[in-house]
Amino acid sequence: MASEETADGHVKYYTLEEIKTHKSTDAWLIIHDKEYNITSFLEEHPGGEEVLVEQAGADATESFEDVGHSTDAREMLIQYYIGELQMVQRLLSLNSFITTSGDGSSSWTTWLIPAIAAVVVGIMYRYYMLERKSS
Ligand code: HEM
C-alpha cells in the first residue's frame, strides 16, 4: 500500500527510544505497531487534544480501542502514518503482555515450557519403546 511507505518506497522502522522523544509539540503515537505523527491533528481531535498529548510518545493502542473509534476515525490514521515499530520491540511488548498476566509477577510461561518438554520426552519414549518391540 503506497500510503504505508515513505516517499522513496521504503517502510521506515522506529525504535521505542526514538518514539519516546516525540511527546511534546511534535507528537507521535503507536497504534497497532504502526507509527503516526499526529502533531497537526492534536487540535482537530474530536475527543480533545489533552488525551492525545497524554499518550504521545507511547503505545496508544489500548486507549484507542477502548474508546471504540469509528471506521472514519481508523481511516483518518492513514494521513498521519510515518512508519512501523521495530520488529524486536513488537516481540518484547508481546512477551511482557504474556509474562505480566495476573498480578504481574507470576506467569503461565514459567510452567508451560517444562510441561511441553515433558510431553515431548513422553512421545519420544513411546516411539523408542515401539521401535524396540518391532525390531
Ligand atoms: C491519531 C489517532 C486518533 C484519531 C485519528 C482519532 C479520531 C477520533 C475521531 C474521528 C473521533 C470522533 C468519534 C469517532 O469517529 O469515533 C474521536 C473521538 C474520541 N477520541 Fe480519538 N482519535 C485518535 C486517538 C485517540 C486516543 C489515543 C484516545 C484516547 C486516549 C482518543 C480518545 C477519544 C475520545 C475520548 C473521543 C470522544 C468519544 C466520544 O465523545 O464519544 N482518541 N477520535
Question: Tens digit of pLDDT for each residue in 78-129?
Answer: 999 999 998 777 777 777 777 665 555 556 677 888 899 999 999 999 988 8
* Higher pLDDT among residues 112 and 42, named by residue: 42
Position 2 scores a pLDDT of: 40
For the Cβ of 53 lying below 6 angstroms from any atom of ligand 1, the answer is no
pTM of the model: 0.71
Parallel, antiparallel or unpaired: strands 81-85 and 13-14: parallel
Mean pLDDT, residues 40-49 = 96
Query: Measured in angstroms, how far is the CA atom of residue 74 from the centroid of ligand 1?
Result: 9
| Ligand 1, atom nearest to 38 Cα | 1
Query: Measured in angstroms, how far is the CA atom of residue 24 from the centroid of ligand 1?
Result: 19
Distance CA 120, CA 124 (A): 6
Cβ 36 vs Cβ 42: under 8 Å: no
Mean of the per-residue pLDDT values for the chain?
Answer: 86
For the Cβ of 60 lying below 6 angstroms from any atom of ligand 1, the answer is yes
Q: Which cell numbers in the block locate residue 90?
A: 513488537
Q: Which cell numbers in the block locate residue 81?
A: 502514518
Spell out the residues 6+ positions from residue 49 whose beta carbon is closer than 8 angstroms to its own. Answer: 42, 43
Position 103 scores a pLDDT of: 55
For the Cβ of 34 lying below 6 angstroms from any atom of ligand 1, the answer is no
Position 90 scores a pLDDT of: 75
Query: Measured in angstroms, how far is the CA atom of residue 21 from the centroid of ligand 1?
Result: 23
| Ligand 1, atom nearest to 41 Cα | 1
Position 1 scores a pLDDT of: 41
